[in-house]
């Protein structure tokens, strides 16, 4: 059991992202934590039956969502750490997905707790490469290799079309 607060709860308790936003009632609300090795960021998730892609198997799009959000949190946590700042310290920082690569290695079975383990593989300026492993039990089922770009939070907020996805008419 992890006794530290989740990165999402520290940095973005008002988040509305489908994958990680605490304020999205329909979302997954993932929670990411620094691992005890201080290299990896880890999380667990048990997919609900509605996320089946085939009977008994997890939908690949859900795996991509988990890898995307968790890897982004890994990139952000790494930036805070590299600057010697506690997660959530002002000024805030954020990253967006530049590219998302997923290699599906084995079918991911439903009914298992998925473990994601991510680490920063390299940084160049505002870009961070993150490798994310997805396990069902002890079996590696997917591997993410993605790029995240650090963005100016104020600029991102100014260019956002909606103040909240929950306030928009999605019908």
The per-residue pLDDT of the chain, averaged, comes to 92
The answer to whether position 89 is within a domain reads yes
Say how many domains are in the chain: 1
Q: What is the pLDDT of residues 131-151, one digit of tens each?
A: 999 999 999 999 999 999 999
CB 134 within 8 A of CB 141: yes
The answer to whether position 7 is within a domain reads no
The answer to whether position 111 is within a domain reads yes
Supply the range of the domain harboring residue 41. 32-164
The answer to whether position 88 is within a domain reads yes
| pTM: predicted TM-score of the whole model, two decimal places | 0.91
* Mean pLDDT across 4-15: 96
Q: What is the pLDDT of residue 153?
A: 82
Q: What is the CATH number of the domain that holds 149?
A: 3.10.129.10
Bridge partners for 136 per DSSP:
114, 139
The answer to whether position 20 is within a domain reads no
The answer to whether position 170 is within a domain reads no
Q: How far apart are CA 125 and CA 135, in angstroms?
A: 31
The answer to whether position 11 is within a domain reads no
């Amino acid at each position: 059991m992890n006794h530290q607060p989740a990165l999402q709860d520290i940095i973005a308790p008002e988040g509305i992202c489908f994958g990680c936003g605490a304020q999205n009632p329909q979302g997954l609300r993932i929670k990411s934590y620094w691992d005890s090795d201080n290299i990896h960021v880890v999380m667990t998730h048990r997919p609900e039956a509605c996320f089946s892609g085939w009977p008994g198997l997890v939908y690949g799009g859900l795996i991509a969502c988990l890898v995307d959000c968790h890897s982004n949190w890994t990139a952000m946590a790494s930036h805070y750490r590299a600057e010697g700042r506690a997660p959530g310290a002002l000024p805030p920082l954020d990253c967006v997905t530049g590219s998302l690569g997923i290699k599906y290695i084995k079918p991911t079975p439903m009914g298992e707790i998925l473990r994601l383990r991510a680490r920063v593989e390299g940084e160049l300026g505002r870009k961070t490469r993150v490798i994310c492993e997805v396990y069902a039990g002890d079996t590696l089922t997917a591997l993410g290799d993605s790029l995240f770009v650090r963005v100016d939070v104020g600029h991102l907020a100014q260019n956002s079309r909606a103040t909240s996805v929950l306030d928009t008419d999605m019908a």
